[in-house]
Amino acid sequence: MDTESTYSGYSYYSGRSRGSHRHGERSRDRHKSRSKDSRSEKSVTINTPPAEPLLGDSAVRGEQIQDDNWGETTTAVTGTSEHSLSQEDIVRITKDLEDSVGLDCRRYFTRTLAVILGLLVFLTPLAFLVLPHLLWPEKLQSCGTACEGLFISVAFKLLILLLAVWALFFRPARAGLPRVFVFRALLAVLVLLFVVSYWLFYGVRILDSQDENYQGIVQYAVSLVDALLFIHYLAIVLLELRQLQPCFSVCVTRSTDGETRHYNLGQLSIQRAALAIIEHYYCDFPVHNPALLSASKSRAAKHLAGLKVYNVDGEFPAAPAEGPGNNAAAGLAHSQSRAMIAAAARRRDTSHNELYYEEAEHERRVRKRKARLVVAVEEAFTHIKRMQEEEQKKAPGDVMDPREAAQAIFPSMARALQKYLRTTKQQHCHSMESIQQHLAFCITNNMTPKAFLESYLVPGPTLQYSRDRWLARQWTLISEASVTSGLKDGSVFLLKCVDFSLVVTSKKIPYIQMSEEYIDPKSHKFVLRLQSETSV
Amino acid sequence: MSFVPGQPVTAVVQRIEIQKLRQGNNLILGFSIGGGIDQDPGQNPFSEDKTDKGIYVTRITPGGPADVAGLMMGDKIMQVNGWDMTMVTHDKARKRLTKKNEDVVRLLVTRKSLEEAVKHSMGTYHKQ
């Protein structure tokens, strides 16, 4: 049966590996709306399959589906749509594999290109100087004082160039961007053209004609090194200096809970701006906590579940039939949703009341737990004290290192801390091991109980937590404009990761017209301006 | 009405006696004063000389004790019950007028029309 095969295909694929699962989810979101709709509708009306049936089960499950909701299932789950789903899946798997392999290849490819270019650039002046000695040593004029002075200049300029290139380009790559970095590519092409043209000139005018004027050749090599230094200056200006002056103000909003920050960026391409924003995200935004969003989701579900639509005229309401019946079903769905909206507006909804009291109660509970926690931690910290130098010689017994001290005082505060974390829904961010490590760290550095507690009372930036809470290091840039084009006023793009996305809008910082006004310091004079009138 | 520093001030004054009226817990006179040495003399609409920092009557409640006694708007108060009012602060003037243990205040006020009336009468006298 088609149902069985596609379900098995889907489940097998989802169980395979976390990496490809994530890829699949992402691209599934991107590519699919139609089949997703059919799947979600099916889950509303049928209430069945989770995404993990084994291969053996699906046969039985197919039978069950057929028995219970025969009329609706066969129309929703047709051979063509589900079949194309599984094919798409396979295509996507291979594409993802290629992509991941392709990305690594690309990084090594660019690196080898850069190394080759660098070697070419450095060895060229040396080659210019050495080749005449190798090819026509007898004819060559001997090198006088000025010429040898030029040797020193070439040597030092090459050394400076080497240090400058090392400082600018030999830094660990901090990100892999989707498209090539336009300025770098342009600069590489420029350098290549430049060096090639110098070689051409050298080959034609010097090698072929076997010029004897060695000083001229040395000066030629010096001019090459000078020009390379100037190209390096151009590289600094284009790559580093140009985007320092702030030009755009970008507003970054997280889609799940609405956290917003504003940053000032210079003239950057969209992908470089996205990289800067992600780096700011990791240190400015509080960590994404999916447990805090469950309340609003349950409220939304309650809103939907409150009303049910019955069509008393006798037709099947919710089956998305194909073919000619489609328009009728669509029209029916429209009128149903409008009816639902009208009914929801009219009914007296007391959910706002519940929300208000629930939030007040939650606040009270959190404050109570926090008070207990603070007292417990302060008491725990009084149990240990740092041992002084003199005492060390006196009583070597029962001396603990920070880790043991942390383990000794941890149990007295563990319960209060765990209750507090449960109430604020942070318990999955902190493992017991990490708490003990943090406690040992605080004890070592003479921090007060308040300093120890600060990382638990306030949700900190993502990097503060352990690596497995960093969740996303794989970001997708979704943009209507090309990602190598520059930021413009009003450009909008999305940075999507697995759990949430960051919506970024940019605005141009306005041109500021400033004028001056001079005030003479002696012009500050005052008089009484009272004019009271009293009635007697 | 301007004064020359160091010279005594001369003015033609009218004696006005006002009986205070009891209103609830207060004794009121029924007019408002403005001016004083701590006020801005330039804003006085009634004075001829805009450096005059004396106390002027700015408003009269119609039918009140001051109106009945003949006080007019724009009068400059020279004395209250014997106390000088030409060189006092605004608050001091108010206090002098609103003493709780006095039922009657005797003011010496001057106004421009008084001056002219005297000149006129002296003129006719001279003609005679």
How does strand B55-60 pair with strand B31-34? antiparallel
CA distance, residue B97 to nearest chain A CA (Å): 7
Q: Give the range of the structural domain holding residue B100, as residue numbers without chain letter.
A: 13-125
The verdict on A273 and A215 lying in the same domain is no
Number of domains in chain A: 3
The pLDDT value given to residue A73: 56
pLDDT in tens, A145-175: 888 899 999 999 999 999 999 998 888 878 8
Average pLDDT over residues A351-362: 89
Query: Would the CB atoms of A536 and B58 count as touching at under 8 Å?
Result: no
pLDDT at A391 over 60: yes
Query: Would the CB atoms of A533 and B94 count as touching at under 8 Å?
Result: no
In a domain, A333, yes or no: no
The pLDDT value given to residue A530: 65
Could you tell me which residue, A29 or A395, shows the higher pLDDT? A395
Could you tell me which residue, A22 or A365, shows the higher pLDDT? A365
Its sign, for the CA torsion B49, B51, B53, B58, is: positive
Query: Would the CB atoms of B33 and A527 count as touching at under 8 Å?
Result: no
The pLDDT value given to residue A139: 81
Domain boundary residue, one of A214, A241, A268: A241
Q: Helices A214-236 & A145-169, crossing angle to 10 degrees?
A: 20
Q: Is B109 on the interface with A (CB under 8 A)?
A: no
The pLDDT value given to residue A373: 95
The pLDDT value given to residue A266: 93
Q: How far is CA A432 from the centre of its chain?
A: 28
In a domain, A330, yes or no: no
In a domain, B6, yes or no: no
The residue of chain A nearest to residue B98, with distances taken between CA atoms, is A536
Query: Would the CB atoms of A536 and B32 count as touching at under 8 Å?
Result: yes
H or E element that contains A476:
strand A476-479
In a domain, B8, yes or no: no
Q: Is B105 on the interface with A (CB under 8 A)?
A: no
Question: Pick from B31, B38, B43: which is nearest to A536 by CB?
Answer: B31
pLDDT at A110 over 70: yes
Q: What band does A248 get if pLDDT is binned at 50, 70 and 90?
A: very high
3 state DSSP class of A152:
helix
Q: Give the range of the structural domain holding residue A275, as residue numbers without chain letter.
A: 248-289+471-511
Stretch 42-71 of chain B: residues touching chain A, C-beta under 8 Å:
43, 58-59, 61
CA distance, residue A519 to nearest chain B CA (Å): 27
Among A15-29, A35-49, A95-109, A112-126, the range of highest mean pLDDT: A112-126
Q: What is the mean pLDDT of chain B?
A: 88
In a domain, B2, yes or no: no
Query: Would the CB atoms of B32 and A528 count as touching at under 8 Å?
Result: no
Could you tell me which residue, A489 or A308, shows the higher pLDDT? A489
3 state DSSP class of A492:
strand
pLDDT at A443 over 50: yes
Query: Would the CB atoms of A531 and B59 count as touching at under 8 Å?
Result: no
Share of chain A above pLDDT 90, in %: 40
Which two three-digit tokens encode residue A487? 């930021």
Query: Would the CB atoms of B94 and A536 count as touching at under 8 Å?
Result: yes
CA distance, residue B44 to nearest chain A CA (Å): 8
Number of residues written out for chain A: 536
The pLDDT value given to residue A59: 42
In a domain, A129, yes or no: yes
CA distance, residue B63 to nearest chain A CA (Å): 15
Domain boundary residue, one of A430, A458, A486: A458
Question: Pick from B39, B40, B97: which is nearest to A536 by CB?
Answer: B97
The pLDDT value given to residue A56: 42
Q: What are phi and psi of A312, to 5 degrees?
A: -85, 5
Which two three-digit tokens encode residue A116? 């080759």
For chain A, what is the radius of gyration of the CA atoms? 35
pLDDT in tens, A45-54: 333 444 444 4
- A36-40, A217-221, A491-495: segment of lowest average pLDDT: A36-40
The pLDDT value given to residue A60: 42
Q: What are phi and psi of A171, to 5 degrees?
A: -110, 150
In a domain, A258, yes or no: yes
- A123-127, A427-431, A463-467: segment of lowest average pLDDT: A463-467
A interface mutation test: which of B58, B77, B102 has the most A CBs within 10 A? Answer: B58
The pLDDT value given to residue A2: 43
Query: Would the CB atoms of A531 and B39 count as touching at under 8 Å?
Result: yes
Average pLDDT over residues A487-499: 91
Decide if B118 contacts B12 (C-beta within 8 A). yes
Q: List residues in chain A touching B: CB distance below 8 A.
A: 527-536
In a domain, B26, yes or no: yes
Residue A424 burial class via C-beta count within 10 angstroms: exposed 0-12, middle 13-18, buried 19 and up: buried
Q: Which amino acid is at A234?
A: L
What residues in A contact B36, CB-CB < 8 Å? 532
Query: Would the CB atoms of B34 and A528 count as touching at under 8 Å?
Result: no
Which two three-digit tokens encode residue A399? 């001396």
Number of domains in chain B: 1
pLDDT at A83 over 60: no
Report H helices in A395-495: 402-423, 432-444, 449-457
The residue of chain B nearest to residue A527, with distances taken between CA atoms, is B40
CB atoms within 10 A of CB A273: 25
What residues in A contact B107, CB-CB < 8 Å? none
In a domain, B4, yes or no: no
The residue of chain B nearest to residue A532, with distances taken between CA atoms, is B34
pLDDT at B65 over 90: yes
What residues in B contact A531, CB-CB < 8 Å? 34, 39-40, 43
Decide if B4 contacts A503 (C-beta within 8 A). no
Stretch 4-33 of chain B: residues touching chain A, C-beta under 8 Å:
28-29, 31-33
Query: Would the CB atoms of A532 and B97 count as touching at under 8 Å?
Result: no
pLDDT at A236 over 90: yes
Average pLDDT over residues B110-117: 87
In a domain, B109, yes or no: yes
Residue A333 burial class via C-beta count within 10 angstroms: exposed 0-12, middle 13-18, buried 19 and up: middle
The verdict on A282 and A407 lying in the same domain is no
The verdict on A415 and A447 lying in the same domain is yes
What residues in B contact A536, CB-CB < 8 Å? 28-29, 31-33, 94, 97-98
Q: What is the pTM of this model?
A: 0.61
The pLDDT value given to residue A518: 94
The verdict on A449 and A374 lying in the same domain is yes
Query: Would the CB atoms of B38 and A530 count as touching at under 8 Å?
Result: yes
The pLDDT value given to residue A354: 85
Its sign, for the CA torsion A403, A407, A412, A415, is: positive
Among A143-147, A345-349, A354-358, the range of highest mean pLDDT: A354-358
How does strand B26-28 pair with strand B31-34? unpaired
In the block, tokens 């284009």 appear at: A238
In a domain, A175, yes or no: yes
Decide if A475 contacts A496 (C-beta within 8 A). yes
The pLDDT value given to residue B96: 92
Q: What band does B83 get if pLDDT is binned at 50, 70 and 90?
A: very high
The residue of chain A nearest to residue B41, with distances taken between CA atoms, is A531
> Cα–Cα distances in Å, from B45 out to B4, B11, B30, B49?
22, 20, 20, 10
d(CA A35, CA A398): 68
The pLDDT value given to residue A261: 95
Decide if A15 contacts A88 (C-beta within 8 A). no
CA distance, residue A526 to nearest chain B CA (Å): 13
Could you tell me which residue, A110 or A191, shows the higher pLDDT? A191
In the block, tokens 């961010």 appear at: A429
Domain of B83, CATH number, reads 2.30.42.10
The verdict on A427 and A481 lying in the same domain is no
pLDDT at A109 over 90: no
The verdict on A358 and A476 lying in the same domain is no
Could you tell me which residue, A473 or A161, shows the higher pLDDT? A161
Question: Pick from A532, A535, A536: which is nearest to B39 by CB?
Answer: A532
Q: What band does A327 get if pLDDT is binned at 50, 70 and 90?
A: low
- A66-75, A284-293, A484-493, A495-504: segment of lowest average pLDDT: A66-75
Query: Would the CB atoms of B38 and A535 count as touching at under 8 Å?
Result: no
What residues in A contact B43, CB-CB < 8 Å? 531
pLDDT at A358 over 70: yes
pLDDT at A16 over 60: no
The pLDDT value given to residue A396: 64
The verdict on A281 and A375 lying in the same domain is no
The pLDDT value given to residue A499: 84
In a domain, B7, yes or no: no
d(CA A410, CA A414): 6
The verdict on A253 and A221 lying in the same domain is no
Average pLDDT over residues A354-378: 93
The pLDDT value given to residue A449: 93
Q: What band does A320 get if pLDDT is binned at 50, 70 and 90?
A: very low
Query: Would the CB atoms of B34 and A531 count as touching at under 8 Å?
Result: yes
Average pLDDT over residues B17-36: 90
Closest to A309 in 3D by CA, of A33, A44, A68, A39: A44
The verdict on A393 and A487 lying in the same domain is no
pLDDT at A426 over 70: yes
The verdict on A496 and A437 lying in the same domain is no
The verdict on A274 and A254 lying in the same domain is yes
In a domain, B103, yes or no: yes
Could you tell me which residue, A536 or B81, shows the higher pLDDT? B81
Question: Pick from B29, B32, B61: which is nearest to A533 by CB?
Answer: B32
Q: Helices A402-423 & A449-457, crossing angle to 10 degrees?
A: 40
The verdict on A275 and A403 lying in the same domain is no
Average pLDDT over residues B56-75: 92
Q: What are residue B55's DSSP bridge partners?
A: B77
Query: Would the CB atoms of A533 and B29 count as touching at under 8 Å?
Result: no
Q: What band does A72 get if pLDDT is binned at 50, 70 and 90?
A: low
Query: Would the CB atoms of A534 and B33 count as touching at under 8 Å?
Result: yes
